[in-house]
Every structure is written in structure tokens, then in C-alpha cells.
Amino acid sequence: RKPPPPPVAMSLNRLKETLLPCSSSSAQSQSQPRSPSPPRPPRRPPKTSLSQQLLRLEASYSLPAPPPSPPKPLSQKTAEDAAEQPTSSSEEDVAPRPRRRPAPPPAASFEPRGPYEPLVLSPLGEHPIVQVPPSINCRLLAHQRDGVRFLYNLYRNNHGGVLGDDMGLGKTIQTIAFLSSVIGKDNNQGEKSTDKGKKSSPVLILCPTSVIRNWENEFSEWANFSVAVYHGPNRDLVLEKIEGQGLEVLITSFDTFRTRDKVLCDISWELVVVDEAHRLKNEKSKLYTACLGITTQKRFCLTGTIMQNKIMELFNVFDWVVPGCLGDREHFREYYDEPLKHGQRLSAPERFVQVADKRKKHLVSVLKKFLLRRTKEETIGHLMLGKEDNIVFCRMSDVQKRVYRRMLQQPDIQILVNKDLPCSCGSPLTQVECCKKIEPRGIIWSYLHRENLDGCPLCPFCLVLPCLVKLQQISNHLELIKPNPRDEIEKQKKDAELAAAVFDTDIELVGGSAKSENFMGLSDSEHCGKMRALERLLSLWTLQGDKILLFSYSVRMLDILEKFLIRKGYCFSRLDGSTPMNARQSLVDEFNKSPSKQVNLC
Ligand SMILES: [Zn+2]
Ligand SMILES: [Zn+2]
């Protein structure tokens, strides 16, 4: 007789998964019937067909002419237009000719826009009508509109809830759209209240210090609230504004709130929004107890990680959001926490697993009323389909190949290549097991072990990474293996010795074995396979009006690419480790906005 199958263990992850599919049912349950959401736009074609571009590159090196392209259906027209077929292998013909880029089809417009139908939140027939301002509504995606409905319906029932969407789904803009529909409105048909009419109390936003600016920026971009930040030395001046000038939104950090909770809890808030609300997972923390002092019933939480480790964390967050919604703490522990933990064990008896499963479903159904949680895949996955990753293999130049081969012949690499050959001393062991663990003739080995001439415990494998780095540098640009004047003198000596060895008879071609300052030499793509490929791709992309981000992890490579861009006449900017923090955002903004900026080096 066979033993019964082992019970299925239930994990915390499965509970987390189960929290997902609650979609927007609670958001829709109380709202008026709405028109079905529009069909998702079809998958967009890639902006340019890199496979065609690759063919073109390949053609310039070896192929006499590409095969004639077969007739293509109309839908591929954009990609086809973008990648003209070369007609011969000569350089002039291979380089793309200037031509106008075809207008993109409407579906390919870059910024996703929601439908323009008004987003009315209040139930049909109810007055005043509450709706999201068109200026925000037109920029909302479908899932964001659902999120705004969800937040409003909670608000209308005089309590709060948790927006638990994945990071990147726009929790901030959903919140601002929701606030824009309900804050500062009097009974004048949703018009923003002026000095007449009853003003509502202000909104409190609690968030980590690091995102205060972000909230401020988003508010100024999307809404015309009177917003103030309560943070830093002069913070108490801000409080006077609440009374005197009709402040509508106050943003403060967790740290400030923890110490100033008495002052802030004295204020009558219309509603409170806690960003990164998983910070409320511990009921014994000072932040949690301080938040309990906030008097409003309308408590909203935003978080992408609603539960990090323990089920009790869920209780703490929800018990703050809607006090009592999950019963009292002891009941929750007995009814959900303990059974779920028991059922989760691998050795749990079947009946424990069944109870856990039932309780889990029950918990999820209770949470649904107050929690909206969506993933990237189910919401904006279809928008990401136009993105393609392409890897372009670049043929090394002839000099690069010669240098690469000489590098492979270096004793440092040979000892690794030959490690499994029989040892020359006649023993039955391999070289690496016997006599050839160290290589005093190797330039890299000698440098690595200049303090311990007998080798290190890792020998010869301590050579793997340094040798790979050298091979990678040769493949990227020959200039990179020359000594760097910023290095210590010992390392420079070693690099100069190695460079001389691998350049050998090609030393003149690469401008000597010392670091070159020669602009014409460095900016020339002739001896660098990657730059030759880049030259053609840049030319093609810029002709199409695309902007290009050009990344390198090496500052020296960025220096070389910069010279290359100057020589080619591209308009570019550069952002690297030396760019001051406070200059970075404006540099990015300028690159995005200025039509003349073609390339950004980073
Ligand atoms: Zn041996
Ligand atoms: Zn070693």
C-alpha cells in the first residue's frame, strides 16, 4: 500500500500571490456602471529593426551585397523604411542616406494617454459631481483610473485603504488625481473653492525624507494646490499658513513626524496619506504610535511591499488604516496568523493545510475591501512590448586581433590554458595539481605576487580575473591597456611592460605604449571594432531623429568616446561620476528637452 501523498506546503509567498488577483472589484462595486475599458493597443513594432542594421554592418565588412529583401506586409513598413538596404559594399553606399523619417502610426506615440472620456467618481445622479480634472485624467492609464476610483470609494465611505501596486505603476499620480477631485471643492459644481464657501481641512502626506521633493514636484506638475513642506529648521512657520492662507497639502517626513507628532496631531486633517507604508509594520515603533494620534478616519497607505516577512505586519498596517477591520490583535493571531504558520510547515498534517487554506482565502476576501494591489505585468506589461534588447557583435580590427593573440600567448594566460595538461616533471598529475601553480615569468603574476614570491593560496586561479580584464580592454579599445597616469607607479610600470609586450610590432599603429593625448589618434575609429560599429549605428539613429544614451563603465573609454563624438560633430552631453549631484537633474532635463542634443555619454 502506498503512503498518502505528502501535504502541499503553503508558503508566505503563496499568500502574497493570493493577495494579487483582487483586481479592482472593490473599486467598481460602489461606482456607477462604466463603459468597458478600451481594447489594449496592439504590440508596437520596434522603432528600428536592429536585425536589418546588423545585416548592414555585416555587409560593410564582408558581404558583397545583401540578398534582395522579400516583399513584406504593410505592417512592417516602419521597420523596413528605417533600415534601407545597402546596394553595394562600398562605405559611401553603406552609410545611410539622409531621409525623412516616416510619421509614426498613432499607436506608436510615445507617451501613453488614457481615453479622454471624463472620469466621474461620484455615483450617477449625485450632486455635486465629483470628477478628476481633465488635465490629469488625460494622462492616466487604465489601471490608474481604476486606482483613483478605488481611493475615492473608500473616501466616500469615510474611511481609508491601501494602494499596494508594484513600484512604477504610478501610486503618486493616482493619489494626486484622487486628491484633485476631492480637495478644496465647495458645492459649486466641482469648481475649486475661492475665498467664499466652506474650506475643507488640509491633507497630510507622510513619506521618507528622500521622496519629499518628488511629492512636491509631482504636485506642482499635476495640480494647483497650495502645498508646503514641513521639514527642516523653519518648519513651524509653515503651520501658520494652514490657518491664515488656506494651505491644502502639508508634506512631512517620517523622522520629522516622529518628533513633532504632538504639534501635527493637533491639526484636524481631512485625510492622511502614508507613502512607503510598510514602515508601519511594527506596532511598537515610535512612528506607529505617533501615527495612531492622527485623528482622521480617512487614512490611506501607499506601498509596493505590503507584507515583508510576517503576517502580523499586515495586521498592523490595516489596523491603523481601518481600526478594527481585522478584529482585535489576539483574534487575528489565533484565527489567521497561527493557522497560516502551521499550514506552512513542510511537515504539516493535511487538515492543518486545509484550515490554513480556508483562513487564507477568508483573509484575502476581507482585505479586498481595503486593498488594491496590481503587478506591472497585468497593468503596463503591454506597453513594454515595444522595447527590444539587441546585442551587436562587433568584429575586432586587425590590430586588435593581433594584440589579443599576443595577450593569449602571455605566460599568465598560458598557465591557465595548460593547467590540465600532464605535468612535465613526469608525475601522473596535471600541471595545476603539481609543479605549475605559479608563473614568475608572467608580468601580471609577478605584479600580483610582488609581496609574496612563493605565490598565494589561490594560484594560478588568482590570475583569471586580471587576465579577463585585459582581454576585455583589448576588445573595447587598445588605448585602455596603456598605463593610466592616475594609477600608482608600480601598476603603471607593470601596465607599460605588458602593453609593450602585446603591442610588439604594432606599437607605432597605436601611438606608442604610453597614454596617448593625440586627438586624431584617439578619435579615429579605424583600429577599434566597437567604434566602427558605433559610427554606423550613431549615424543611422541620429538621421532618424532618435536620441542616444551611450554607456560605459570606464571613464577612460568615455574620454575616448567623447573625442570621437567631437570629431564626428555630434551634439552631446556627458554625465559621469564627476558630475555634481545638484547638476545631474538639469543635465538630464536639458538632454530630454533640447532638440539639438543627440547623444548623452554616461
Ligand atoms: Zn610536476
Ligand atoms: Zn596567486
Query: pLDDT digits over 316-325, tens only?
Result: 999 999 999 9
The number of the ligand nearest the C-alpha atom of 437 reads 2
What is the pLDDT, as a whole number, of residue 344?
82
* Residue 405 reports pLDDT greater than 60: yes
Query: What is the whole-number distance in angstroms between the Cα of residue 415 and the centre of ligand 1?
Result: 13
Q: What share of the chain is helix, strand, coil (3-state, %, to 5)?
A: 45, 5, 45
What pLDDT does 334 receive? 94
Percent of the chain with pLDDT over 90: 52
Cβ atoms within 10 Å of 355's Cβ, excluding its own? 17
> How many Å lie between the centroid of ligand 1 and the Cα of residue 422?
8
Task: Say how far apart CA 509 and CA 403 lie, in whole Å.
Answer: 11
Q: Which ligand is nearest to the CA of 459?
A: 2
Cα(430) to ligand 2 centroid in Å equals 18
Whether 468 and 440 have beta carbons less than 8 Å apart is answered as no
How far is it, in rounded angstroms, from Cα 190 to Cα 132? 10
Ligand 2 centroid – CA 133 distance (Å): 67
**Distance from Cα 461 to the centre of ligand 2, integer Å:** 7
Which ligand lies nearest to the CA atom of residue 416 in the structure? Answer: 2
Q: Residue 235: which pLDDT band, with cuts at 50, 70 and 90?
A: confident
pLDDT tens-place string over residues 428-441: 999 999 988 999 99
Grouping H, G, I as helix, E, B as strand and the rest as coil, residue 270 is: coil
Q: Please name which ligand lies nearest the alpha carbon of 423.
A: 1
How close is the Cα of 369 to the center of ligand 1, in Å?
A: 74
The rounded mean pLDDT for the chain is 81
For residue 458, the ligand closest to its alpha carbon is 2
Residue-wise pLDDT tens digits, 478-534: 999 999 988 999 999 999 999 999 999 998 888 888 888 888 888 999 999 999 999
Of all ligands present, the nearest one to the C-alpha of 456 is 2
Distance from Cα 426 to the centre of ligand 1, integer Å? 7
Strand partners, 302: 163
The ligand that comes nearest to the alpha carbon of residue 429 is: 1
432 Cα: distance to centroid of ligand 1 (angstroms) = 8
Give the distance (Å) from ligand 1 centre to CA of residue 443: 22
Backbone angles phi, psi at 444, to 5 degrees: -70, -45
Q: Give the Å distance between the CA of 461 and the centre of ligand 1.
A: 17
C-alpha cell at 598: 543627440
Among all bound ligands, the one having the nearest atom to the CA of 462 is 2
Distance 419 CA to ligand 1 centre (A): 11
Q: Which residue would you say has higher pLDDT here, 303 or 513?
A: 303
Q: Which domains does the chain have, with CATH numbers?
A: 134-326+373-384 (3.40.50.10810), 398-516 (no CATH), 529-601 (3.40.50.300)
Weakest mean pLDDT among 2-11, 266-275, 300-309, 352-361: 2-11
pLDDT band per the 50, 70, 90 thresholds, residue 404: very high
Average confidence (pLDDT) over 305-311: 82
Residue pair 235/295 in contact by the 8 Å Cβ criterion: no
Q: Ion ligand 1 — residues with CB under 5 Å?
A: 423, 425, 427, 434-435
411 versus 112: which is more confidently predicted? Answer: 411
Please, which residues bridge with residue 318 across strands? none
Rounded to the nearest angstrom, the distance between the alpha carbon of 431 and the centre of ligand 1 is: 6
ipTM of predicted complex: 0.89
pLDDT at position 306: 83
Ligand number with the minimum distance to the CA of 455: 2
Q: Would the pLDDT of 64 be above 60?
A: no
Asked if 550 and 497 touch (Cβ cutoff 8 Å), the reply is no
pLDDT single digits (tens) 450-479: 999 999 999 999 999 999 999 999 999 999
**212 alpha carbon – ligand 1 mean position (Å):** 66
C-alpha grid cell, residue 241: 499658513
- C-alpha distances out from residue 405 to 503, 526, 558, Å: 10, 19, 26
For residue 429, the CA-to-ligand 1 centroid distance in Å is 7
Distance from the CA of 478 to the center of ligand 2, in angstroms? 26
Residue 152: which pLDDT band, with cuts at 50, 70 and 90?
very high
